[in-house]
Chains A and B, each alone.
Chain A
Amino acid sequence: MEHMMYSQQNKKKKHYIEFAIFFIFIIILALLIIPSFYSDFSITGSLTEKIASEIKPNSTIKFSADLTIPNLEISGVFQNVELKGSSESFIYIESEKFRLNSKNNYIVLKNYTGDVSFNNENILALGGKSSKVFINGIPVEPKTKSTLKVSLESFNYGFLVVEKEAVIKKITYVSSGSIRLNDGKNVFNIENEEVSFEDFMGNLKIENGKLNLEGYVKNLDIKGKQGISVSSQS
């Protein structure tokens, strides 16, 4: 009886070992195949790309503006993202941690897919994937994969460029500056007025405490001294 119980326990143990070996095999096989044949596989990455393609707007009003900097979060696929700033923070590239301790840091992200959120002083969060990263002129390229995972801790910046294409679904905030529509045919100078625009698509640049937008919008509303509303014909 005792012998039978011992033999049954042994059989159970043997099955656990077989299951563990098979499980390890499946994990190794998945690690081999998924990153190699589906190099862009990433739950967050694919989601960002999906969102970006879904919200790519059909805007027709040519829009150019120099405004004060709002609190903003943009996400999508950008050809080029450039940052300049003096901040002793860290940038993470894959598993490597780089300390940004020089006076003038200059970071360039090529073919960046991910999020950037900022206010008028700091880059609050940056996280995504990039095909190539330059840190103060030193290139960092992926060795085995086609992209690098990049993230940045809170970074005090003075210059930010997001090119091709920054998409802002909708923003409403009180701002001052100037807005030019259709190659300067209509110019609006605003001062502490509520500006609201929808489906902006184009380039974004922040320099000397000013937000410069160049691209297209679908709707523009200015509320304050002058009540202006411009919509594209659809």
Chain B
Amino acid sequence: MKKEVLSVRNSRKIYIPVYFMIFILFLAVGAIKFYGKEMNDWAFRGVLIFSAVGIFWTETHRLRNKYEITENAVIHIKGLLVRTIKKTDIHALSDAELKQNPWQRILGIGNVSANAFSEITILKNVSKPHLVIKFLEEKMAEKNAHAPANAKARR
């Protein structure tokens, strides 16, 4: 059987407000240069620091969370230096849920919840959430179809 693994991270689209602020600041710097005006040194340093910190923070924030859907489990890998890996067995999943607020709908992202009774694994702000939930449901269906008869009976 072919092993399929879906690996997703938070979408960069959620950082659009930060990218937009950086863009506005550089636009203001460009306008000051274009009109030949004098620029406040501290403000320019502020623009550089804000942009550098903004890019660094968004990238590290994005890299901190990774989600994998394998044949057997939904895995949430959290952290950069200190890693926490949370594995939820596909067998244990009761249902999957997709939540999108208006902003997420505009950007085409969403939160996919994999519910295992009391435990919930949320794949936050992932791109193309409909495909992710479809993939997850397929894996859940496949697992149920291949489940041994006695396991089915137990259920």
Interface residues on B, range: 10 to 19
Residues of A within 8 Å of B50, CB to CB, are 24-25, 28
**Chain B: interface secondary structure?**
helix
Say whether, besides A28-B47, A29-B25, A36 and B41 are in contact (CB < 8 Å): no
What 1/0 mask marks residues of chain B from 13 to 48 whose CB sits below 8 Å from any chain A CB? Answer: 000001001001100110010010111111110110
Minimum CB–CB distance for A32 against chain B, Å:
4
Contact call B38/A29, Cβ cutoff below 8 A: no
Minimum CB–CB distance for B110 against chain A, Å:
17
Contact call B38/A39, Cβ cutoff below 8 A: yes
Once the chains are docked, how many angstroms separate the CA of A36 from the CA of B50? 19
Contact call A32/B40, Cβ cutoff below 8 A: yes
Residues of B within 8 Å of A6, CB to CB, are none
Residues of B within 8 Å of A29, CB to CB, are 24-25, 28
Residues of B within 8 Å of A39, CB to CB, are 37-38
**Chain A: interface secondary structure?**
helix
Indicate which residue in A21, A22, A35, A146 contacts B43 across the interface (CB closer than 8 Å).
A35
Q: B residues bordering A, Cβ < 8 Å?
A: 18, 21, 24-25, 28-29, 32, 35, 37-44, 46-47, 50
Once the chains are docked, how many angstroms separate the CA of A29 from the CA of B25? 6
Q: Which residue of A lies closest to B46 (CB)?
A: A28
Minimum CB–CB distance for B126 against chain A, Å:
18
Residues of A within 8 Å of B37, CB to CB, are 36-37, 39
Q: Which residue of B lies closest to A145 (CB)?
A: B38
Contact call A28/B25, Cβ cutoff below 8 A: yes
Contact call B43/A31, Cβ cutoff below 8 A: yes
- In the assembled complex, A186 has its CB within 8 A of some CB on chain B: no
Q: 21 pairs across A/B with beta carbons < 8 Å?
A: A21-B18, A24-B50, A25-B21, A25-B24, A25-B50, A28-B46, A31-B42, A31-B43, A31-B46, A32-B25, A32-B28, A32-B29, A32-B39, A32-B40, A32-B46, A33-B28, A35-B43, A36-B32, A36-B40, A39-B37, A144-B38
What is the total of A-B residue contacts with beta carbons within 8 Å? 53
Once the chains are docked, how many angstroms separate the CA of A22 from the CA of B35? 26
Known: A31-B42, A37-B37. 7 other contacts (CB 8 A): A29-B28, A32-B29, A32-B44, A36-B32, A144-B38, A144-B41, A145-B38
Residues of B within 8 Å of A37, CB to CB, are 32, 35, 37
Once the chains are docked, how many angstroms separate the CA of A33 from the CA of B28? 7
Interface residues in A26-59 (C-beta closer than 8 Å to B) = 27-29, 31-33, 35-37, 39
Minimum CB–CB distance for B16 against chain A, Å:
13
Q: Which residue of A lies closest to B51 (CB)?
A: A28
Minimum CB–CB distance for B117 against chain A, Å:
14
What 1/0 mask marks residues of chain A from 165 to 187 whose CB sits below 8 Å from any chain B CB? Answer: 00000000000000000000000
Minimum CB–CB distance for B15 against chain A, Å:
11
Contact call B43/A28, Cβ cutoff below 8 A: yes
Once the chains are docked, how many angstroms separate the CA of A204 from the CA of B46? 45
Once the chains are docked, how many angstroms separate the CA of A36 from the CA of B32? 7
Q: Which residue of A lies closest to B18 (CB)?
A: A21
Q: Which residue of B lies closest to A26 (CB)?
A: B21
Say whether, besides A24-B50, A28-B50, A36 and B39 are in contact (CB < 8 Å): yes
